[in-house]
């Protein structure tokens, strides 16, 4: 049994304003540094959400809507400022791919380290190593330091590890898009299989197509609030319409 329950969750960031000597000595030099008057940003506002076994939830909304913050909250990385966030089940997450790798180490070592970070024991991750390597299709690239990897290769590595550990809850940020068509298809199949055993997935995406094809529920976030929550096609349609009316139809196809 795994579940996610958010009860009146608020998440407020404190913006750590850099104050330098220049700011003190030169009046007006801070005009690009103002971020709200009290230096805080409310990323999520009074969020109510509950997700149960077997649900695949797509989260859509434009940049800065609070999608990634929501994922990090679910992952336990950001504690809620107020309200309650209860997540039951083993979490595996995949956020931005720019960090979280040991650049000097090769692919194998990174698989091992990532597996440990996701809560595997050394024995367990070593047993799964071969399977992870096969799924990633990285072959000989695994023997090379990951600093030479492309973003697609990072994705293959990270996704393979994150799903191989058989999590109850899989949190994916808009990264799967970095993969090539073949890998995206492969990833989709694997997620389908995972969902057969009643698991939860929360997937942040800008691709309406993927939201519809990969998920069976869709949440539309806007400025930290849930605008709509329901069947993916209906929600993505409504979301696209709102973009159209704002003249921002360049976002997401």
User: Residue 28: enclosing H or E segment and its boundaries?
Assistant: none
Give the residue with the Cβ less far from another protein, 129 or 212: 129
DSSP state of 63: T
- Other CB atoms within 10 Å distance of the CB of residue 251: 15
User: Smallest gap, in angstroms, from Cβ of residue 204 to another protein?
Assistant: 14
- Separation in Å, CA 82 to CA 51, 88, 115, 118: 20, 19, 31, 26
User: Smallest gap, in angstroms, from Cβ of residue 109 to another protein?
Assistant: 7
User: Smallest gap, in angstroms, from Cβ of residue 104 to another protein?
Assistant: 6
Give the residue with the Cβ less far from another protein, 91 or 235: 91
Give the residue with the Cβ less far from another protein, 149 or 220: 149
Q: What is the residue whose two structure tokens read 């309200």?
A: 83
User: Smallest gap, in angstroms, from Cβ of residue 80 to another protein?
Assistant: 10
User: Smallest gap, in angstroms, from Cβ of residue 184 to another protein?
Assistant: 22
- Separation in Å, CA 217 to CA 132, 146, 177, 220, 236: 28, 35, 19, 10, 10
Give the residue with the Cβ less far from another protein, 105 or 238: 105
DSSP assignment of 201-231? EEEE-S-HHHHHHH-SEEEEEETTEEEEEE-
User: Smallest gap, in angstroms, from Cβ of residue 136 to another protein?
Assistant: 19
Question: Of 175, 108, 192, which Cα lies nearest the Cα of 142?
Answer: 108
Q: In what order do the strands lie in the sheet with 3-14?
A: 40-51, 3-14, 82-88
Give the residue with the Cβ less far from another protein, 156 or 217: 156
User: Smallest gap, in angstroms, from Cβ of residue 224 to another protein?
Assistant: 15
State the residues that interact with another protein by CB under 8 A.
Answer: 13-14, 16, 72, 75-79, 91, 93, 95-96, 99-102, 104-105, 109, 112-113, 116-119, 121-122
**226: which strand partners?**
221
- Other CB atoms within 10 Å distance of the CB of residue 192: 11
Give the residue with the Cβ less far from another protein, 54 or 145: 145
Give the residue with the Cβ less far from another protein, 8 or 14: 14
Assigned token pair, 235: 């929600």
Contact yes or no for 201/216 (Cβ under 8 A): no
């Amino acid at each position: 049994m795994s579940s996610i329950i958010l009860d009146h969750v608020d998440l407020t960031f404190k913006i750590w304003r850099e104050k330098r000597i220049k700011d003190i000595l030169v009046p007006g030099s801070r005009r690009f540094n103002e971020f709200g008057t009290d230096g805080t940003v409310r990323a999520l506002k009074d969020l109510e959400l509950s997700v149960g076994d077997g649900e695949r939830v797509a989260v859509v909304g434009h940049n800065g809507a609070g999608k990634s913050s929501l994922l990090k909250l679910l992952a336990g990385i950001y504690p809620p400022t107020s309200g309650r966030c209860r997540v039951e089940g083993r979490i595996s997450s995949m956020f931005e791919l720019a960090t979280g790798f040991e650049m000097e180490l090769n692919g194998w070592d990174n698989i091992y380290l990532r597996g440990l970070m996701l809560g595997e024991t050394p024995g367990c991750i070593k047993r799964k190593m071969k399977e992870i390597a096969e799924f990633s299709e990285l072959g000989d690239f695994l023997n090379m330091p990951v600093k030479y990897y492309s973003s697609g290769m990072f994705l293959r590595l990270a996704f393979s590890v994150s799903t191989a550990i058989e999590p109850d809850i899989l949190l994916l940020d808009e990264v799967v898009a970095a993969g090539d068509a073949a890998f995206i298809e492969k990833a989709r199949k694997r997620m389908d299989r995972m969902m057969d055993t009643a698991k939860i997935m929360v997937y942040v995406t800008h691709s309406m197509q993927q939201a519809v094809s990969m998920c069976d529920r869709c949440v539309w976030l806007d400025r930290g609030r849930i605008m709509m929550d329901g069947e993916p096609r209906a929600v993505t349609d409504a979301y696209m319409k709102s973009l159209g009316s704002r003249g921002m139809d360049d976002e997401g196809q």
